[in-house]
Every structure is written in structure tokens, then in C-alpha cells.
Structure 1
Amino acid sequence: MEYVIAVFIGLLYACGVYLILRRSIVKVILGVFVLSNATNLIIFLSGGIQRGGAPFIPEGAETVDPATISDPLPQALILTAIVISLGISAYILALKYRYFDVTGTHDLDQLKNTDQR
């Protein structure tokens, strides 16, 4: 299962880099979002995938196999990253809206023409 997710993460990084290299500011923003989601998946994969693993040790348990317990730290980091990326997404989209109002274009190559007055 980890191999399938690793291949999917590689595809997400490839798509994110491809979108960042485009000329449209909208595609650059989407590329940043895709890269952040790929990074979240890497953090999730680093914690290991345990199917049916308990995220905590039950109270009163005498012996618990450590291989069956899920690591909660990567999950907490991902939740924090999702909240932060939501705030950054709102900020970037507001900046993009203002950028379009001022320049009248989404194309970064046409931005060169707006400087000459």
C-alpha cells in the first residue's frame, strides 16, 4: 500500500511542478496547492499505515504490541498543515483577485507590458 501512495505522491509533485511552470497565475496558485497536498501525504506516509491500529493505548492494558499502535504525531501535523494551508489559500486567492483588478490579466508574460506607460 505504501508503494501505491508513494507513486501517487510522485505524480502529485510532478503535476504541481508542471503547474508552477505555467504562465497563468491561476495555474501557479493551483500548483502550490497541489504541492502542499503532496507534502501532507508524505508526512502521513512517514507515520506508517496501520490498518485497524489503535491511535492510543487502552487504559489498563498489560501488554500492547507496539506494531499495532498508530503514531498520532504525523496525523496532528497534517491537521495543523491543513488549517494553515486553508488560511494561506484564502489569502492567496484574495491577492489573485486584487492582482486581476489592477492588471486586467492572468498571464504573467503580459504583465511585462503593463509596466510600460
Structure 2
Amino acid sequence: MYIIGIDIGKNHHEASIVSPEGKQIGHSLRFATTHKGADSLRKMYIRQTKNDSIDSFLIAEVIRFGQFTTTSMADENILAMRQLCRYRDSVISSRTEIKLRIGTIMEQIFPEYEKQFS
């Protein structure tokens, strides 16, 4: 059974094929993160790159030796709460920035403001 290790990237992925004996088959394969890129992986377009080829080979080796763990996604409620907390944080940051701007403008227009009002 041959194993393919894929190093995931933002603009492209890098894949290596490893034989059951642990030998890399050919050079690593670089393909774009598009449907065309995935099709080029099926066509086995081979191109050598610097570090990604080593990473994809190591990923294939980890799978071959079974030294991997599965990753689970967080619950939908947790993700929603995380997004809500991040939104709240951005609203508070915006509010603070607006209050500072207002304070600066009030200081210029009405310098006695701080002494007159608490």
C-alpha cells in the first residue's frame, strides 16, 4: 500500500508518495489549492521544491508508522461563543477608541470640561 503525505499550504499544497518500505517515490508534487490543482495531483505532475517536499514526506512517514491522532472540530456552540466573544472584544475596542477621540476633541473645544464634569 502506497501512502501519500500532503503538506497543506495557503496557496499551494505539497505531496509525497512513500512506498510500503518507506522509500519516497519520485519527487514531491506541488499543486495549487484549487480544483485544477487537485486534478493535477491526480495526473501526478512532478516538480521539486525546497522545504515542503521534506514536510510532505514526513507526513507520509507518520501515517505509514501509524503515529498520528485524529483531530476533532469544536462543537458548533463553542465556535459560536468564540465568534461572539471576538465580536464583543472588537466592539469594546471601537468604543474605547471613540471615547478617546471625543475626549481629545472636547479638550480642544472646551478645555475646562474635565474640571466642570466628572
Report TM bin, short chain.
under 0.3
Give the number of the structure whose alpha-carbon radius of gyration is greater. Answer: 2
Higher strand proportion: 2
TM-score, normalised with respect to structure 1: 0.26
